Structure 1
Amino acid sequence: MSTPAYDAGRLALMLNELRLPTIGRLWPEFAERSDKEGWQATRLIGALLEHELAERAKRRIERHRAESHLDPTKTLATFDFSMVPMVSKAHVMALATGDSWLEKGATALLFGPPGAGKSHLGCAIGHALIDAGYRVLFTRTSELVQKLQAARQSLQLPSALAKLDRFDLIILDDLSYARKDQAETSVLFELIAERYERRSLLITANQPFSGWNDVFPDPGMTVAAIDRLVHHSTIFEMNVESYRRRTASDKQNSRRRQSSGDNHQQGATTMTG
């Protein structure tokens, strides 16, 4: 029995119908190489499928990174662990794999003053998790509170919380800036309660737990929120001087040294002249 022949146009239509664009792009080159080198059919099919799957994974990661709203510059490669010696790099790298803590719906809490690198570290973990195949959302806490409050007013809060469920990790940045006098932050408690032991949160905050009474509408809700967050949690205390302040200070000192050197050189030139 002779093997049926397929012209290129028909193959292209079938591959397009099956949504296999990578195979559609590569098969002529691979088929020619297969004919020349005498590949078995399984090798040809396997090679094409491997490339298709690799491209799909790449596109999926690109989509997940775009939807995450993570700062593309804040990665583990650009995070200076020497500036926060109290943070274990090994511990962070373990979190970046995601396996154990995301499956438990556990929480990561990053405390420290403004400029300590909390947002950078949170973003860096988020990028690594996307590379590992997880879905991540980065958002300022106050912005998410406003969106959830709008959803509550339109009787859509359960639906809004359900949509957030597709993310394996939500990074709530600057929780301390969410104030109960700016929005009805009880929706934030509902998010925490909804995700408890199911989906993970990573929270950055300038204030320790003792300062969270300014965030939630009443002390009882504050206690309940903290209780849920710390039950399965990793806590990083990043109590260091602001990176921005250190950078500005270093630049100022550099200018002073340069100015001093120029004045010294100018004085020497005047004396020799």
Structure 2
Amino acid sequence: MNAPADDTGRLALMLNELRLPTIGRLWPEFAKRSDKEGWQGSRLLSALFEHELAERDKRRTGRYRTESRLDPTKTLATFDFGLVPTVSKAHVTALATGDAWLEKGATILLFGPPGGGKSHLGSGIGHALIDAGYRVLFTRTSEIVQKLQLARQSLQLPWALTKLDRFDLVILDDLSYAKKDQAETSVLFELISERYERKSLLITANQPFSGWSDVFPDPGMTVAAIDRLVHHSTIFELNVESYRRRDASDKQKSRKRQLPAAEPQGATTMEA
């Protein structure tokens, strides 16, 4: 039986007021099916709310993905673990679920030469965490350092650091490229200290800890930063050939294979 027009209009208004757009779109179809198949009221409500929650989760994931600034092509599915034997796929998959390590504000540290896949692996973990319902921010270290320095100059640094708390994970890419400047790198230290044991960081760096004196000009600050980061950390070393260099080499070899063989000097072409 079709609902009276007045009831239908009132229901649409109420669903809109309650912000239940998926139920508003689907309920007429589900109501007809319920009448035809003799569903109990609980089954009808359960079906409608399951669809609403699924759509709400899909929209939230889309928002999180957009705000994360992650490269959409750099996922764990596109990361070739076979080329990086020092990284355990099972271990990374376990970390990608979030859970315990995010709850205690632990850190992931990725070391390796330029082009070794650090940013790709970090981004892949970030995408997986978003799929699991967490909020992630990907940023170049030099970029966030500059933003925090501007916030300090305008006396807004505490507010800027607090604003980052909405992210369960902040990915600091290319830490080794941060400027060696007391004023700027001190805000990086404050970011590390602020999130210590509260909110997680994932850091990629070209240099091992022994080279971090180039990032933090003060030796005491260097030691303190490293101490906080390694306290609750997972460390991966990607000491492999550059992805970009290997890809360029493979493309060059492919082009050579596709080139037609040159005719021997002095050869003549005979017509039939």
CA distance in 1 between counterparts of 2:14 and 2:248 reads: 60
Q: How far did 1:179 drift? A: 1.5
Structure 1 unmatched ranges of 5 or more = none
* Percent identical residues: 82
Q: How does 1:1-273 map to 2 (within 5 A)?
A: 7-181=7-181, 184-259=184-259, 261-263=260-262, 266-267=263-264, 270=267, 273=270
Q: Could you state the TM-score of these two structures normalised by the residue count of structure 2? A: 0.94
Q: How far did 1:252 drift? A: 1.8
Match of 2:72, SS?
A: coil
CA distance in 2 between counterparts of 1:166 and 1:212 reads: 28
Match of 1:139, SS?
A: strand
Map Cα deviations across residues 199-258 of structure 1 (whole Å, 9 max, x no partner).
Answer: 000000001111111111301000000000001100000001101101111222223333
Q: How far did 1:104 drift? A: 1.1
Tell me if structure 1 keeps the 8 A contact 2:61–2:133: yes
Map Cα deviations across residues 121-154 of structure 1 (whole Å, 9 max, x no partner).
Answer: 0000000000001000000000000000000000
Q: Could you state the TM-score of these two structures normalised by the residue count of structure 1? A: 0.94
CA distance in 1 between counterparts of 2:266 and 2:91 reads: 56
Match of 2:96, SS?
A: helix
Tell me if structure 1 keeps the 8 A contact 2:182–2:217: no
Tell me if structure 2 keeps the 8 A contact 1:139–1:171: yes
Q: Where do 4+ consecutive residues of structure 1 move more than 6 Å?
A: none
CA distance in 2 between counterparts of 1:267 and 1:36 reads: 81
- Number of aligned residues: 267
Q: How far did 1:268 drift? A: 10
* One-letter amino acid of the counterpart of residue 22, structure 2: T
Match of 1:185, SS?
A: helix
Change (3 A) 1:271 1:73: same
